[in-house]
A and B are shown apart, each in its own frame.
Chain A
Amino acid sequence: MYRSTGFIAFVLRRLTGVALVIYLLLHIWVIGGINSGAETFNDRMEFLGKPFFRLLEIGLLAAVVYHGVDGIRLLIGHYFQVTEYRRGLFYAVIVVSGILVIAGGVPILLFALEG
């Protein structure tokens, strides 16, 4: 059971989901800096503009993309009764997510390396 694609997808979905909830709370706090004035907002954005955080954005992108694409897989599985293609759909999620993360991650990486 622990090696089935369904179980791996379930664990990955839960892990990325929990990570995204934590990120969401931080994101609301960072953007909320505007309530204390433009200076606080820009300070918080500047802090997050450090190369380390920019590189972390690629991880964030990967989590968002995987969680989203896997969500589409779930919707397809639920509404179109394609249970015999479950394994294939999981691999399709990995491939599509990989392509999207590379396409979206390269510009972020280049921007991070600019310093």
Chain B
Amino acid sequence: MRIFLMQRWSAVALLVFLTLHMVVVHYPPGHIDVDRVLERLDDPLWKAIDIAFLVAVLTHALSGAYMVITDVQRFNVYKRVFAWVGAFTGMLLFIYGTQTILAF
């Protein structure tokens, strides 16, 4: 149930963050280079928004992957193992992603 709720709330957050991300970063389509990204991320508020976006997207993706994998009967007995692997992977990706956002 906890993972189901994580999936739901991160989905709602993503509807906001992803729409914002697409509109601000990807439209109108054009060449993306360091300078263009630097200009936006010069504002600490954008860094905070991107880190919150990272948390939502990792939560949603990893809890979704967990659900898809544990729906397979053969893997269902290892639910706890997959939950810990997901949490650990999420932490690593969060650290790497945050480091990336702060590097700009």
Contacts and interface: CB of A to CB of B under 8 A. Distances in A.
B18 A28 contact: no
A28 B93 contact: yes
B27 interface: yes
Interface bracket on B: 20 to 34
Interface of B is mostly: helix
B34 A42 contact: yes
B43 to A, nearest CB: 17
A72 B15 contact: yes
Interface centre among B33, B93, B99, B100 (most CB of A within 10 A): B100
B27 A68 contact: no
Contacts of B49: none
A35 B103 contact: yes
A59 interface: no
Interface string A9-24: 0000010011011001
A31 B57 CA distance: 15
A76 interface: no
B30 interface: yes
A42 B22 CA distance: 20
A6 interface: no
Interface of A is mostly: helix
A75 interface: yes
B28 interface: yes
A49 B31 CA distance: 7
Contacts of B8: 75
Interface centre among B30, B32, B33, B103 (most CB of A within 10 A): B103
B55 to A, nearest CB: 13
B87 interface: no
A108 interface: yes
Interface of B: 8, 11-12, 14-15, 18, 22, 27-34, 57, 61-62, 64-65, 68, 93, 96-97, 99-100, 103-104
Across the A-B interface, the 4 shortest Cβ-Cβ residue pairs: A111-B29, A38-B34, A21-B61, A32-B100
